[in-house]
Structure 1
């Protein structure tokens, strides 16, 4: 029901587009109308480069889509491979909407999404989508979500900047996804909210800075078996309002989650200097005992 409701709103309402972005992106951008792809055949309608294969995906790239339409780029019910990259998108409702695409076929990279009223990037009923190196900011009017994951699995959200949105990232009924090395800063509500039955997601090596007005809890977890640190490295996230290297960081919500390995602003573990002399003393004692035994 939720995904159907969201999908029904992702329709174009007006055909006006214009562009004058202030952001610098890596290649010159071409002003382009909104892109609506509802099946594989629509990729060729836009004369996109690529062949739709894993080695040569269709490339939606180097566009400035600034529009009064509801959605900037919409991809639905496709099986071909595609990547959205190096674009600037400002739409009245949602910058990028991806719904029910074949697992592992979609990627969003190096995209700037600004001033969209509801969801900058929304992924619905899809799996193994890779979102990385994006700037998602100032999506604050109305609902104002930076990244919205709905009924999806194995989504990778890596090295993005989500600043000054209403929420940085919200995941609903989304499982087995990884949220890492992102910056969530100055969002009105939570930087990350795992909401409505999200299970077995991993959140680590992110920076949480002044979200929810500097509240103690900058993230919320209402799911099951979500982990707020990397188990292999035993490293969690950076929280700008955390200053005790020996304490855990509580995560808001019904799950009772904690970041038990919080990091400093360089995303490294702090060493409590109180214990350094103790460790040195123990090493000296062990070393002296070994010398005596050898004599």
Structure 2
């Protein structure tokens, strides 16, 4: 009778472990995973369906990588740089340029307004999709698709940047902030990136809201940890039933 009770306990424990593992995998795949320094405002959101959020290439104008270092570099694009009439970089496809370190690189600080929207950046290999560096200009990056880069979007030593509704897939790092403050990171999707969203300890007073990270390595590490904990519970149950 003791052996039967023991076998039943083990069977129940195994069933519990398998059920909880599947439930955990289902929910954690959709959860926000963010390294969150202090003094930042962070609100997570879930409910990401990877089958409904694929990178789609459509109606883009091919363009070489864009480097903005002076006003002369901005003269190619429409707008005057004011809040009412910002410079606009839009509807470009920047793909396959692995010989440079960027798709779009903004490193110019003269307090202008700039919008980067509806662009596709892909096949960048070990490089960076969008770099925003050493600027306090009002730059909005919205509704862009970035695929297969080392970093999708990299913000370094910058402030007052808005990232909104961008989709970043298959990158080593989705969105990365370094030594940056007072930026708004909202409603972005980081799918199948090794690290979805990160900010170092010197990046403060940033707002992270409604961003989604799915299928990152961190997710699978969490799954592994939970399974190990459940196995320890099983071992404890077996010992108690001996």
**Which TM-score tier does this pair reach, normalised by the shorter chain?**
0.5 to 0.7
Residues in 2 aligned to 1:213 and 1:186: alpha-carbon distance in whole angstroms = 11
Instruction: Provide the residue aligned with 2:139 in structure 1.
Output: 106
Matched, 1:48 2:80: no
If asked which structure has higher relative contact order (CA below 8 Å, sep 6+), I would say 2
**Deviations 1:259-288, CA, capped at 9 Å, x for gaps:** xxxxxxxxxxxxxxxxxxxxxxxxxxxxxx
Moved over 2 A (4+): 22-25, 210-217
Q: CA deviation at 1:39?
A: 2.0
Q: CA deviation at 1:50?
A: 0.9
Q: CA deviation at 1:170?
A: 1.1
For the Cα contact (< 8 Å) 2:55–2:167, is it kept in 1? no
Residues in 1 aligned to 2:177 and 2:55: alpha-carbon distance in whole angstroms = 25
For the Cα contact (< 8 Å) 1:95–1:120, is it kept in 2? yes
Residues in 1 aligned to 2:91 and 2:131: alpha-carbon distance in whole angstroms = 18
For the Cα contact (< 8 Å) 2:186–2:209, is it kept in 1? yes
**Deviations 1:215-239, CA, capped at 9 Å, x for gaps:** 569xxxxxxxxxxxxxxxxxxxxxx
Q: CA deviation at 1:102?
A: 2.0
Instruction: Provide the residue aligned with 2:108 in structure 1.
Output: 77
Instruction: Provide the residue aligned with 1:179 in structure 2.
Output: 208
**Deviations 1:180-215, CA, capped at 9 Å, x for gaps:** 1111111113xxxxxxxxxxxxxxxxxxxx453525
Residues in 2 aligned to 1:148 and 1:107: alpha-carbon distance in whole angstroms = 16
Instruction: Provide the residue aligned with 1:121 in structure 2.
Output: 153
- TM-score between the two structures when normalised by the length of structure 1: 0.54
How many aligned positions are there? 167
- TM-score between the two structures when normalised by the length of structure 2: 0.65
Unaligned segments of structure 1, at least 5 residues: 1-21, 190-209, 218-295
For the Cα contact (< 8 Å) 1:184–1:211, is it kept in 2? no
Instruction: Provide the residue aligned with 2:221 in structure 1.
Output: 212
Instruction: Provide the residue aligned with 2:183 in structure 1.
Output: 155
Unaligned segments of structure 2, at least 5 residues: 1-53, 227-242
For the Cα contact (< 8 Å) 1:159–1:182, is it kept in 2? yes
Q: Whose helix proportion is higher, 1 or 2? A: 2
Q: CA deviation at 1:71?
A: 0.6
Instruction: Provide the residue aligned with 1:6 in structure 2.
Output: none
**Deviations 1:40-76, CA, capped at 9 Å, x for gaps:** 22111xx201111111111110000002232100010
Match of 1:30 among 61, 76, 79: 61
Matches within 5 A, 1:188-203: 188-189=217-218
Matches within 5 A, 1:190-269: 210=219, 212=221, 214=223
RMSD between aligned residues: 1.8
